[in-house]
């Protein structure tokens, strides 16, 4: 077979070959093709400061709720997904042992208070007899020692009562902040002991403030600053926020390397937001 020979000077994809005819028309179409090449989007990390960063939503702060005292879970007052206010009761432990310790401490206080009153009278009596030179100073000192001993035992009993009261109050586990209960890891009747293995009873996400985490290309990081205002979009909701943190080390690999930033905002009451949702951060560089 004979190979087809292209005429000299003719490019295989030249505009003259594709569009024969009017030279002016060919010139116009060539110019339009060049313009189209100029507006094609580039690949890789954007460097335009007005572009949005794709990030992920997270709680402003996460609390892992543990039991401060040992005991059996008596009741669970909340369910996963429920919103709670600060100091709201989450769990109640069995307080029978604590109540018994409290009654014992109170009884000891009442008994020791009577002993101290008697010791005070003995000291006064001994001092009066000593003033009349009817007893030796040693007798007065012994009365004072007995008075101090009873006073120390009374102070110890009061400390035990205060400790029992604190344990009784801690038997009601309360929310450290307002937020949403994301997980409950215990069941009624389960025994917990923080001295052996501090079990996580539940996880609470503080929803008063939330944050978006995203990566910023190294060439853009110098244009950002903590406290800088941003616009955060989550689904159909849009919020005003600020950059809260800017990382100091590169994370990721190769072309996806960047500095991690966190933008913080306060969601509205009608916005039901969950960690892990995609979010966008509209950056505004400092002038």
Long-range contacts at 36-40 (CB < 8 A, ≥ 24 apart): none
pLDDT of residue 251: 85
pLDDT of residue 169: 94
Q: How much of the chain exceeds pLDDT 90, in percent?
A: 46
**Bigger pLDDT: 14 vs 233:** 233
pLDDT of residue 118: 97
pLDDT tens for 199-241 read 789 999 887 888 999 988 888 888 888 888 889 999 888 899 9
pLDDT of residue 196: 79
Rounded mean pLDDT of 70-86? 92
Q: How much of the chain exceeds pLDDT 70, in percent?
A: 80
Sheet holding 89-93, edge to edge: 172-174, 89-93, 71-76, 191-192
Please, which residues have CB within 8 angstroms of residue 263's CB and are 6 or more apart in sequence? 55, 211, 212, 214, 230, 232, 241, 242, 243, 244, 281
Least confident of 10-24, 64-78, 103-117, 165-179: 10-24
Rounded to the nearest 5 percent, the helix, strand and coil shares of the chain are 35, 30, 35
**Bigger pLDDT: 186 vs 47:** 186
| DSSP 3-state of 74 | strand
Confidence of residue 39 (pLDDT cuts 50, 70, 90): very low
- Would you state the structure tokens that stand for residue 198, as one six-digit string? 């501090």
Least confident of 42-46, 145-149, 190-194, 215-219: 42-46
Phi and psi torsions of 78, nearest 5°: -130, 170
Overall pTM surpassing 0.85 (yes/no):
no
């Amino acid at each position: 077979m004979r190979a087809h020979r292209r005429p000299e000077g003719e490019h295989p994809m030249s505009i003259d070959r594709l569009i024969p005819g009017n030279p002016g028309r060919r010139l116009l179409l060539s110019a339009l093709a060049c313009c189209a090449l100029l507006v094609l989007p580039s690949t890789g990390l954007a460097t335009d400061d007005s572009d949005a960063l794709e990030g992920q939503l997270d709680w402003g702060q996460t609390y892992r709720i543990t039991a401060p005292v040992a005991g059996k879970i008596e009741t669970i007052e909340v369910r996963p997904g429920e919103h709670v206010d600060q100091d709201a009761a989450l769990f109640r432990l069995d307080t029978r042992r604590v109540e018994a310790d409290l009654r014992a401490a109170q009884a000891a206080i009442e008994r020791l208070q009577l002993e101290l009153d008697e010791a005070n009278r003995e000291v006064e009596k001994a001092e009066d007899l000593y003033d009349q030179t009817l007893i030796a100073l040693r007798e007065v000192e012994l009365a004072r020692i007995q008075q101090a001993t009873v006073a120390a035992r009374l102070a110890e009993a009061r400390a035990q009562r205060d400790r029992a009261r604190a344990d009784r109050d801690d038997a009601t586990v309360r929310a450290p902040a307002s937020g949403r209960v994301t997980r409950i890891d215990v069941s009624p009747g389960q025994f917990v002991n923080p001295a052996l293995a501090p079990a996580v009873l539940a996880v609470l996400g503080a929803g008063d403030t939330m944050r978006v985490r995203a990566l910023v290309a190294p060439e853009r990081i110098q244009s950002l600053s903590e406290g800088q205002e941003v616009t955060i979009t989550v689904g159909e909701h849009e919020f005003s926020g600020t950059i809260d943190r800017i990382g100091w080390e590169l994370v990721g690999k190769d072309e996806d390397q960047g500095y991690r930033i966190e933008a913080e905002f306060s969601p509205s009451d009608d916005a039901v937001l969950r960690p892990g949702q995609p979010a966008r951060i509209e950056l505004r560089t400092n002038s």
